[in-house]
């Protein structure tokens, strides 16, 4: 079946540190992969996506590359800010199918 596994949180970093949040997936076929973010008190928002192998999604300084060989879609940012503090969800969607989420990783960035 299809599933997503994320690294456990919470992740606590200092401002300007490098961020990696690991995400691996299991899927049949060729799913699209996503990162969603939930800021405090807000809904889930699409952060970035990639629809095929070797695609790189990017937005707001965040990047993730669709790695079929390692079934991974790790989220990275070179220099985090306090405003990046949020919960990050990795997700996949098989073609024509529903979104399947990971458990979320809480990021806390300290000044």
Fill in the per-residue mask, 31 to 70: x = in contact with other proteins (CB under 8 A), - = not in contact: -x-x-x----xxxxxx--x---------------------
Return the structure tokens found at 6: 């994320």
The Cα 16–Cα 35 span in angstroms is 21
Among 73, 104, 105, 107, binds other proteins (CB under 8 A): 104
Q: How far is the CB of 101 from other proteins (least distance, A)?
A: 4
Fill in the per-residue mask, 71 to 100: x = in contact with other proteins (CB under 8 A), - = not in contact: ------------------x-x-x--xxxxx
- Residue closer to other proteins by CB (options 78, 97) is 97
Cis bond leading into 39, ω under 30°? Answer: no
Return the structure tokens found at 25: 């997936």
Residues that bind other proteins in the complex, under the rule CB under 8 A: 4, 32, 34, 36, 41-46, 49, 89, 91, 93, 96-104
């Amino acid at each position: 079946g299809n599933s997503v596994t994320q690294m456990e949180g919470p992740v606590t970093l200092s401002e300007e540190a490098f961020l990696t949040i690991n995400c691996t997936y299991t899927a049949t076929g060729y799913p699209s992969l996503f990162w969603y973010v939930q800021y405090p008190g807000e809904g889930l928002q699409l952060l970035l996506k990639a629809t095929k192998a070797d695609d790189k999604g990017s937005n707001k300084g965040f990047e993730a590359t669709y790695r079929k060989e390692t079934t991974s879609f790790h989220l990275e940012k070179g220099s985090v800010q306090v405003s990046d503090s949020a919960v990050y969800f990795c997700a996949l969607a098989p073609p024509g199918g529903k979104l399947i989420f990971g458990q979320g990783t809480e990021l806390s960035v300290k000044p």
